Amino acid sequence: MPDPNAPTLAAPTQTAWSAPLPDICGLMQSSPDGLSQTEALARLASTGKNLLEAAESQRMAIALLKRFGNPLVLILLFAAGIAAISGEQASFYIIATIVVLSVLIDFIQEHRAENAAAALRQRVALSVRALRDGKVQDVPAADLVPGDIVVLSAGNLVPADCRLLEARDLFVNEALLTGEPYPVEKNAKAESPPVDEATPDNAAFMGSSVISGSAKAIVLATGRRTRIGAIAGVLRKPPQPTAFTLGIHNFGLLIMRITALLLLFVLLINLLFDRPLIESFLFALALAVGLTPELLPMVVSVTLARGAVRMSRQHVIVKRLSAIHDLGSMNVLCSDKTGTLTEAHIKLVREVDIAGAKNNDVLHWAYINAAFETGLKSPLDDAIMEAAPTDIGGWRKIDEVPFDFERRRVSILAEQAGRRYLVVKGAPEDVLKHSSSYRQAGSNASRPLDDIARSTALATLERLGDEGFRLLGIAWREVEPDRDHADIADESELTFAGFAAFLDPPKESAREAIAALAGLGVAVKVVTGDNERVTRHVCAALGIAVSGAINGPELEKMTDEALSARLADTTLFCRVSPPQKARVIRALRRRGHVVGYPGDGINDAPSLQAADVGLSVQDAVDVAKEAAAMILLKQDLNVLAEGVREGRRTFSNIMKYVMMGTSSNFGNMFSMAGAVILLPFLPMLPIQILLNNLLYDASEIAIPLDKVDDAMITQPRHWDMAFVRNFMLVLGSVSSLFDFLTFGLLLWIFKAGESLFQTSWFVESLMTQVLVIFVIRTRGRPWQSWPHPALIACSLGIVALAILLPYTPLAAWFGFVPLPPQILLSLLGVSAVYLVIAEQVKRWFLSRHAG
């Protein structure tokens, strides 16, 4: 929370945005060397964190209040109020206490789980380079304050609203603020921007990203004082639902339908039998709550948080908890080639002309382009710089046309000895397309790039691709001596120098990891900007069977329907642009696949957002890390394979709660619905139903700790509502059958009255519900798969409590009476037979159904 006694700094006015450049630091009480650490801390105490979300204490209060906004909780509290008004004080206190305890257990456990996950996310929180005490330091983006001087480069997210002090070939994507998809050029001009200009050229705003170039800027506003902060509510769109969120939603709809039917049925029957209205209403409501697994949010949160902690030990940091399930459900991995399937230790090994002869001019021009490029450096640029130092002391950069993923090339306008040249490097096919002449090795004369020459160049390109080389095309043209600006239109009539050929060997660990993913039921599809020949070479080296390929130009012409029809038989998507990669991923998802995508560059952000689970690496650019749901601390597919296993373990434990809760609860609630027709009294008091439900939930709190059978990990796991519904109906019916058997024993053999009947069935229903946990938690025999000791202790402890409760002073509060020994022994016998039958029915059901 901001310190009220700390010094304050006013929000930026129009003066701060439009003041002359030399006056900015003074207005912001800063200096060209930035703030001191002491001053920065003082301002942080005054302005608060550089975040758009509410403060932690506010989020906690809102989260707690939201739980009381649950419709079932509101109805129960309303019912408790009716009980109080009608004089049922005991019912009021018990119902209100049980509801509050359920809400608090859910809130506390989920809050602790979220804290554990937040601590992990903090390990990969975004940082920014800022001047503090005159030195460039890495500062958490959340700790920036007005007056900080920040250093920006390609790939960075702009961390706050800033006025540019210096800028060099700076292009920024402001789509989030303006809706314009194309990058805009920024500069540090001193003159004032127009008062009504939304995004002036000399400012960079929070929510935008640096595409190319570099800059130094002073922070004018942070957090909610930024422009995006003022409209955050409007801009914040709900994320595209993932496989996990869709599954939770569908499960909720299933429970709501069944609950509504039972609720109306029971209420109608009680009214037809002229039973007390208030008692009938409370009974129906308690029945509805008994069917609803109200601790599901807590079980989900705790299970996912524990999964996140375990995955951190496997070098995977989870940013979005639901992504753990999505990773476990993943059955298609769309992977780029470089860095994921290859070592990304790229070396420049050849420089050749269009015929494949060695040509030193290629390295000369490539080196000039790479040396002066200020955009996001690629491994190819590093390889060029490492290949052979070239003396560029006599060269001076004039301008730059930054790289973008549509053009797939970068151009540098540079000068030497009064002559100016535009030097271009990029995708070979595109550079050739914009060239009109070429030079052979050892020649100083240019020749026309006619059809014969183009055929020769393409043959060389294909031959080198078949050998596994990754290629860049290098070209140049001389321009007028006074040309001081370059743009895309200048990239024409070029002289093609030749090809720079690079080797990027396949990763040693990738073959093993791909085999492991295949064993887990995950298919790998390669989506890359590289050409098909190079990609096939890498796939052959790694043992990836290629069933078909689609190239970018072909994909551009395909309809969504045509693409969908080709997906199953296509392994490679080559020469694809970033929007095309995202399109492939969305098409796979529409076909019902759960898709993962690893990426670390600016161009990967659309695909990371389109996938069910986006994965980035710790040293990725800010844009990629922000878009990803998980961060891999090691760029290794083996880490990903272990993450898939952990995701499936986590989802299996969530499904244990769902399967146990729905089948047992449905069985008991169905039995109660039938009992209201057969019995002259309620089969269980509303208070007893709520207590039964609370104790049953308590017995399952340790499920997140439970072990998972290996058989549950070998294939993708996902929500299957038909499987859940059928399992609930089959096992629930078996449970109801034994409930009706218990009714017969109590009524006809033991002649039980109302209180004795209700007490006996409370004990029997809780014993069968809890003990069947050990049957349902595994697909094998219960004695072959031991549960976690905590689950054993919780479950057996609750059973013991249920048996002992009628003999305690609390019994009268709940309407219980002591059970005679013969009844208790009979209930134990019924429960034992039920467990044996439930195991046989479970195995029969699983042998006929997949899930």
First-to-last alpha carbon distance for the chain, in angstroms, is: 48
Average pLDDT for residues 343-369, to the nearest whole number? Answer: 89
- Which of helix, strand or coil describes residue 803? helix
Average pLDDT for residues 449-462, to the nearest whole number? Answer: 93
Q: Is the pLDDT of residue 665 over 60?
A: yes
Note the helical H segments in 408-531.
Answer: 428-433, 451-466, 508-519
What is the DSSP secondary-structure string of 257-297? HHHHHHHHHHHHHHHHTT--HHHHHHHHHHHHHHHS-TTHH
CA count, 13 A, side-chain hemisphere, 400: 26
Which element (helix H / strand E) includes 332? strand 332-335
Average pLDDT for residues 350-354, to the nearest whole number? Answer: 92
Question: Dihedral (C-alpha) 592, 593, 594, 600: value to the nearest 10 degrees?
Answer: -130
How many residues does the structure list for the chain? 851
The confidence score (pLDDT) of residue 121 equals: 54
Residue 196 CB partners (closer than 8 Å, separation 6+): none
Place of tokens 């942070």: 222
Lowest mean pLDDT among 154-168, 245-259, 728-742: 245-259
8 A C-beta contact, residue 142 and residue 51: yes
User: Could you tell me which of 831, 282, 326, 253 has the C-alpha nearest to residue 615?
Assistant: 326
Give Cα 628 distance to the centre of its chain. 6
8 A C-beta contact, residue 788 and residue 699: no
pLDDT in tens, 516-535: 999 999 999 999 888 888 88
Give Cα 423 distance to the centre of its chain. 41
Residue 395 CB partners (closer than 8 Å, separation 6+): 368, 372, 414, 415, 416
8 A C-beta contact, residue 430 and residue 408: yes
- Which of helix, strand or coil describes residue 160? coil
8 A C-beta contact, residue 581 and residue 334: yes
The confidence score (pLDDT) of residue 357 equals: 92
The three state secondary structure string of 634-673 is CCCHHHHHHHHHHHHHHHHHHHHHHHHHHHHHHHHHHHHH
DSSP summary character for residue 55? P
CA count, 13 A, side-chain hemisphere, 214: 7
Q: Between 572 and 194, whose confidence is greater?
A: 572
Q: Is the pLDDT of residue 747 over 70?
A: yes
Q: Is the pLDDT of residue 799 over 80?
A: yes
Instruction: For residue 336, indicate whether it is catalytic.
Output: yes
Average pLDDT for residues 40-59, to the nearest whole number? Answer: 75
Cβ count within 10 A of residue 780: 12
8 A C-beta contact, residue 544 and residue 565: no
Q: What are phi and psi of 203, to 5 degrees?
A: -135, 150
What is the DSSP secondary-structure string of 369-397? HHHH--S---HHHHHHHHH-----TTEEE
At 776, list the tokens: 């349902």
CA–CA separation, 435 and 365 (whole Å): 15
Which element (helix H / strand E) includes 253? helix 243-272
Lowest mean pLDDT among 16-30, 230-244, 270-284: 230-244
Beta bridge partners, 471, equal 501
The confidence score (pLDDT) of residue 94 equals: 64
What is the DSSP secondary-structure string of 6-33? S---PPP-HHHHHS-GGGHHHHTT--TT
The confidence score (pLDDT) of residue 447 equals: 92
CA–CA separation, 435 and 784 (whole Å): 71
Lowest mean pLDDT among 334-343, 593-602, 831-840: 334-343
8 A C-beta contact, residue 439 and residue 447: yes
Q: What is the mean pLDDT of the chain?
A: 82
Q: Is the pLDDT of residue 659 over 80?
A: yes
CA–CA separation, 241 and 244 (whole Å): 8
Lowest mean pLDDT among 91-100, 641-650, 721-730: 91-100
For the chain, the C-alpha Rg in angstroms (whole number) is 34
Choosing from 143, 148, 161, 336, which is the catalytic residue? 336
pLDDT in tens, 481-495: 998 888 888 999 999
Q: Is the pLDDT of residue 797 over 50?
A: yes
CA–CA separation, 266 and 273 (whole Å): 11
Would the pTM count as exceeding 0.85? no
Band of pLDDT at residue 820, cut at 50, 70 and 90: very high
The confidence score (pLDDT) of residue 298 equals: 65
Beta bridge partners, 334, equal 525
Average pLDDT for residues 49-74, to the nearest whole number? Answer: 64
CA–CA separation, 142 and 146 (whole Å): 12
pLDDT in tens, 392-440: 888 999 988 887 767 788 999 999 988 999 999 998 999 999 999 999 8
Average pLDDT for residues 679-705, to the nearest whole number? Answer: 82
Q: What are phi and psi of 337, to 5 degrees?
A: -95, -55
pLDDT in tens, 565-586: 999 999 999 988 888 999 999 9
Pairing, β 523-527 against β 332-335: parallel
**% of the chain at pLDDT higher than 70:** 82
At 415, list the tokens: 């000068």
Q: Is the pLDDT of residue 235 over 50?
A: no
Q: Between 603 and 31, whose confidence is greater?
A: 31
Q: Is the pLDDT of residue 10 over 50?
A: no
Query: What is the sign of the dihedral through the CA atoms of 822, 823, 828 and 830?
Result: positive
Residue 97 CB partners (closer than 8 Å, separation 6+): none
Residue type, 219: V
CA–CA separation, 337 and 666 (whole Å): 50
Cβ count within 10 A of residue 503: 17
Average pLDDT for residues 228-232, to the nearest whole number? Answer: 68
Which element (helix H / strand E) includes 763? helix 754-771
Q: What are phi and psi of 437, to 5 degrees?
A: -145, 175
Band of pLDDT at residue 9, cut at 50, 70 and 90: very low
Q: Is the pLDDT of residue 1 over 60?
A: no
Q: Is the pLDDT of residue 789 over 90?
A: yes
The confidence score (pLDDT) of residue 70 equals: 59
Place of tokens 């930024």: 226
pLDDT in tens, 373-404: 876 667 788 889 888 777 788 899 998 888 77
Pairing, β 630-632 against β 184-186: unpaired
CA–CA separation, 322 and 249 (whole Å): 13
User: Could you tell me which of 626, 608, 644, 616 has the C-alpha nearest to residue 519?
Assistant: 644
Q: Between 504 and 375, whose confidence is greater?
A: 504
Q: Between 427 and 284, whose confidence is greater?
A: 427
What is the DSSP secondary-structure string of 172-222? EE-HHHH---S-EEE----SPPPTT-SS-TTEE-TT-EEEEEEEEEEEEE-
Band of pLDDT at residue 236, cut at 50, 70 and 90: very low
Q: Is the pLDDT of residue 649 over 70?
A: yes
